[in-house]
């Protein structure tokens, strides 16, 4: 195959890639532009590199996966990121989702319990010149309290319920999108919006009490790896 033919082939595959996103409900123009700009092929290695532009999850190192592109798009769309937002991503994985978010937000913090994944994702971020991403090796279930609060939080692993530490790190008016479910067969993607706190006025010697409140919206069935506490051994 000639270089020109190879280039045409990649261009055609990318065009089909974007068409597949639209046909599966990714319609936000900013999200589509970000996904057109960030080449998924940069995040897929080895035997599966040739399938980077297919709408399917693919294996990566440490027993993890790079998510199906249409799911990445739908989660990003539901997050409704604005250019001024500070975003936390829990589950760096390949780095693909963080790279998409970097095109939409002011600052992206991403954490993963696998040091190897963070190291390899950082290499790609540097190669693609994405300076507004900061990646940490950390227990994602605890979030990043030193950087909180966040305008948006995206979790790319499934917990039984939204983790309390992550809810607490969400700014009032902020949005968190995450999969929840007790096993990998029954999971739902949900959108959590933090609304104004419930305020109980001070009475006598009792101080004012503020109770965080959240609105929950179920979006669609999904399937993700589980959210695991602690650091991996790698």
Catalytic residue set: 67
H/E element, 195: strand 186-200
**CA gap 84, 107 in Å, rounded:** 8
**CA gap 213, 168 in Å, rounded:** 10
Provide the CA 110 distance to its chain's centre, in angstroms: 8
- Pairing type for strands 86-90 and 65-66 reads unpaired
Distant-in-sequence contacts of 163-168, Cβ < 8 A, 24+ apart: 163/227, 165/141, 166/88, 166/90, 166/141, 167/192, 167/194, 167/212, 167/214, 168/143, 168/212
**CA gap 194, 116 in Å, rounded:** 33
Q: Which residue has the tokens 């994702």?
A: 121
Answer yes or no: are the C-beta atoms of 128 and 42 closer than 8 Å. Answer: yes
**Backbone dihedral angles phi then psi of residue 132, each to the nearest 5 degrees:** -90, 15
Q: Which residues does residue 195 pair with via DSSP β-bridges, in sequence order? A: 213
Q: Which residue has the tokens 């270089």?
A: 3
């Amino acid at each position: 195959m000639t270089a020109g033919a190879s280039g045409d082939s990649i261009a055609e595959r990318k065009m089909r890639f974007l068409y597949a996103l639209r046909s599966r409900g990714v319609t936000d123009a900013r999200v589509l532009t970000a996904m057109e700009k960030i080449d998924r092929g940069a995040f897929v290695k080895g035997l599966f590199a040739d399938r980077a532009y297919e709408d399917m999850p693919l294996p990566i190192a440490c027993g993890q996966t790079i998510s199906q592109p249409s799911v990445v798009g739908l989660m990003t769309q539901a997050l409704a990121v604005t250019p001024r937002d500070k975003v936390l991503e829990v589950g760096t994985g390949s780095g693909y989702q963080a790279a998409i978010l970097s095109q939409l937000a002011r600052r992206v913090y991403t954490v993963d319990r696998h040091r190897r994944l963070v190291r390899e994702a950082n290499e790609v971020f540097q190669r693609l010149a994405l300076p507004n991403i900061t990646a940490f090796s950390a227990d994602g279930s605890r979030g990043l309290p030193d950087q909180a609060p966040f305008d948006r939080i995206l979790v790319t692993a499934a917990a039984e319920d939204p983790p309390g530490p992550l809810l607490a790190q969400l700014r009032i008016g902020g949005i968190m999108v995450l999969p929840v479910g007790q096993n990998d067969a029954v999971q739902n993607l949900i959108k959590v919006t933090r609304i104004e706190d419930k305020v109980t006025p001070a009475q006598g010697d009792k101080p004012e009490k503020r109770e965080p409140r959240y609105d929950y919206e179920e979006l669609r069935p999904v399937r993700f790896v589980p959210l695991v506490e602690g650091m991996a051994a790698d």
